[in-house]
Amino acid sequence: MEKYDEGKAIELGKIWMKNGINRGHDYEHASEVEKHAIEIMRSLEREGRLEKEIDKELISISVWWHDSYKARIKGWTLYGLIMEAYESEKIVRRELKEYVSPKRLEKAARAIRDHNLPIWYFLLTGKYPQVSQILFEADTIEELSTDRFFRSLNMSRNRIFTFLFKLYSMNRIFWWKFLPNSKYTQNVINEYKNSL
């Protein structure tokens, strides 16, 4: 009998996010991040750059659990802003230890810990594991969504906030050119720039 059950780990992540109380870090967000993450993984595979231990299950585990802490917090707190990735890492290590092998859990936990770091951290340290890269790219792409931005603020669209949000997003995507990124992400960013 198989000792670990990664399907269960993903299913539990979906239940966790469904039970969340944070509008920007909810089931819908994780679900969109997963779609992008799978496309990024396939893009890296086509480019011959995908590491061989990385597969869809590992990516889905990282995605469904990456905002597990924030999902349980209503609104914003300074602690949450700084420590969310560390707290989510603690949750994933605790909740999934019986479902995911230690080696694979380590990769997912590392990606979750890395996902809220600024780009310059990766540039300065050169520490950019591929699972972290896939999660980071997918999460950032999803956060460019204006719909998601207004959903997280629980307000209807308006021009001033759309303009400010796009200004903020432009600053985020400026830094992408300095990181190794997938062709999929490059295309999304180019399309986004053209739509501005």
Which spans of this chain sit near Fe ion (rule: CB under 5 A)? 67, 139
Judged by CB, which is closer to Fe ion: 28, or 106? 28
Residue 5 or 23: which CB sits closer to Fe ion?
Answer: 23
Cβ proximity to Fe ion, 114 vs 139, nearer residue = 139
Q: Which CB atom, from 137 or from 139, has the smaller least distance to Fe ion?
A: 139
CB of 58 to Fe ion, least distance (A): 17
CB atoms within 10 A of CB 119: 16
In whole angstroms, how close is the CB of 24 to Fe ion at the nearest point? 8
Quote the least distance from Cβ 30 to Fe ion, whole Å. Answer: 7
For residue 21, report the phi and psi dihedrals to the nearest 5 degrees.
-120, 5
Q: Quick one: which of 47, 29, 65 has its CA closest to 138?
A: 29
Token pair of 156 as six digits? 């209807």
**Shortest Cβ distance from residue 3 to Fe ion (Å)?**
30
Label residue 179 exposed, middle or buried (CB < 10 Å: 0-12, 13-18, 19+): middle
Q: Which residues contact 97 (CB under 8 A, 6 or more apart)?
A: 105
